[in-house]
Amino acid sequence: MTRIRSWVKLALLLLVMGFALDAVLVVCCRGFRLEIAGHVIRSATIEFPVVGFLIAIGLLLLVQGKWKETCVLLASLGVVAVLGEAMLHVIDHPWSKPVLKTWLEPVELLGFRLPINFEGRGIVDEYIKTNSQGLRDVEHAWTKEEGTVRILGLGDSFMFGWGVKLEETFLKQLESRLSQQIGRPVETINAGVPGYGLNHYYVYLKNIGIKYQPDIVVLAYFTDDLPYSLLETLKPYEEDFPERLQYKGGGLHRSRLYNFLTSAAAIIRVRNHATQVDFIRIMEVRRAAWGRYDHPLIMDEGGKAAEKIALLEEYLRRFKAITAEHHASLVMLFIPDISHLYHPEYQHINRVLRQLTAKHEIPFVDMTPIFESSADLSTYYLHPKDAHTNANGHQAMASALTTLICEAALSVAPCRTAGRIDAAGTLRRLPEGAAN
């Protein structure tokens, strides 16, 4: 019996040490990934090693007959939990806000949208607050103030600002940059929603967005935004979001400490994501996955692409008609996928958009050559943590849009400096005083 107890103690001691080492590697080294005899062993989350460590050390104390120490450990954890809960109520840390299982809810007309009047942690580690219209933005009246240039942004998770603060998004940076250029107030409205595509942009602009009376509409087009058809309304995505806006942890979401720990664990998990998902970490794997898509016009398909190009052109025609009818200007920004940089064979959609926007006289800028100006993917993207653009990437897009708007003379007042964007989408700054 004594021999068995000794072996159990040794096993539990090894477990304690193993879980502790795992936790340190997850926090300090982004986890680990081992391949042994064709099997992959990965660890990139903090929950498992922490819970395992606490259980193992508790069992070790019990096996050693240290009941008093076990009670002290449990009591200490309880006291720390109570103090942590109280402190978070005082501090009101953003991580202590409830966390949703999904950030999207099914609705009529648009299929799905962001939750209304919600505040908490976002998809990566950004802080999110939505307004009464379900937009990641401050409140905006339907009627704009006199003398203000209003810009409406349509887009997906890049427009939304996946992984960055609201003030770091390119639309908010455009707001301040353009205001400095024209010497007048500029107001931007961020209607970006993760998962939206061209059909969502069209339905939103036609039925909701145009009511904001925008002077300029920015259409931010990502690689996969082209749908299979053009619909006037979209049915609620009931099957995709069956849980709707349920909180993680059920009733536990009322605990600030639970929310804080859940958010911290999620942030570590997202940060370490690249060690687990090759689609994020390895560009060759990501490009291969994109190659299986048959609708975004990524690669030149010859005559087979005619129907898709015609559908894309019809969308652009309708966007142009809606904005023109309401005396607004339409501009277009193309955002490339990170894996398509430096690979012209995956940039057919860029060329198609350049031709169609020129045909329909829509000011257009392609961010591809701008993002390709750096050989380091992390310059403009959240790589390797995520494939979305970082704060620097948003800054570059804001700069490109400011130059595009000034070049096309779309603002109600002239810009103080001029610029040019060549056919490849590259910004060309002109000397001050040059013709605009």
Indicate if the alpha-carbon torsion angle 92, 93, 94, 100 is positive or negative. Answer: negative
Query: Low-confidence residues of the chain, pLDDT below 70?
Result: 1, 101-102, 123-125, 238, 240-248, 274-275, 295, 411-413, 418-436
Contacts of 55 (CB under 8 A, 6+ apart): none
Strand, helix or coil for residue 156: coil
Contacts of 360 (CB under 8 A, 6+ apart): 313, 316, 317, 320
Strand partners, 33: 42
Dist CA 168 CA 31 (whole Å): 29
Tell me what pLDDT residue 184 has: 92
Q: How many CB atoms lie within 10 A of CB 385?
A: 20
Contacts of 242 (CB under 8 A, 6+ apart): none
Tell me what pLDDT residue 80 has: 94
Helix 391-407 vs helix 170-182: angle between axes, to the nearest 10 degrees?
40
Indicate if the alpha-carbon torsion angle 251, 253, 254, 255 is positive or negative. Answer: positive
The identity of residue 299, as a single letter, is M
Tell me what pLDDT residue 240 has: 65
Strand, helix or coil for residue 367: coil
Dist CA 58 CA 273 (whole Å): 30
Cα–Cα nearest to 382, from 271, 299, 278, 304: 271
432 within 8 A of 419, measured Cβ to Cβ: no
99 within 8 A of 265, measured Cβ to Cβ: no
Which of the 8 DSSP states describes residue 295? S
Tell me what pLDDT residue 432 has: 43
Tell me what pLDDT residue 138 has: 95
Q: How many CB atoms lie within 10 A of CB 107?
A: 15
Domains of the chain: 2-91 (no CATH), 105-248+294-429 (3.40.50.1110)
Half-sphere exposure for 1 (CA within 13 Å, toward CB): 1
Cα–Cα nearest to 199, from 178, 223, 228: 228
Cis upstream peptide for 384 (omega within 30°): yes
Strand, helix or coil for residue 389: strand
Which of the 8 DSSP states describes residue 423? T
247 within 8 A of 98, measured Cβ to Cβ: yes
Strand partners, 334: 221, 366
Tell me what pLDDT residue 305 has: 86
**Which tokens hold the place of 385?**
């943590």
Q: How many CB atoms lie within 10 A of CB 249?
A: 16
Tell me what pLDDT residue 336 has: 97
Dist CA 112 CA 248 (whole Å): 20
Cα–Cα nearest to 98, from 124, 119, 84: 119
DSSP result, 342-364: T-GGG-HHHHHHHHHHHHTT--E
The identity of residue 23, as a single letter, is A
Cα–Cα nearest to 197, from 318, 85, 111: 111
Strand, helix or coil for residue 65: coil
Tell me what pLDDT residue 435 has: 38
CA 72 remoteness from chain centre: 44
Cα–Cα nearest to 312, from 295, 329, 325: 295
The identity of residue 41, as a single letter, is I
Is 59 exposed, middle or buried, given 0-12, 13-18 or 19+ CB atoms closer than 10 A?
middle
Q: How many CB atoms lie within 10 A of CB 77?
A: 12
23 within 8 A of 49, measured Cβ to Cβ: yes
Cα–Cα nearest to 187, from 219, 146, 159, 132: 146
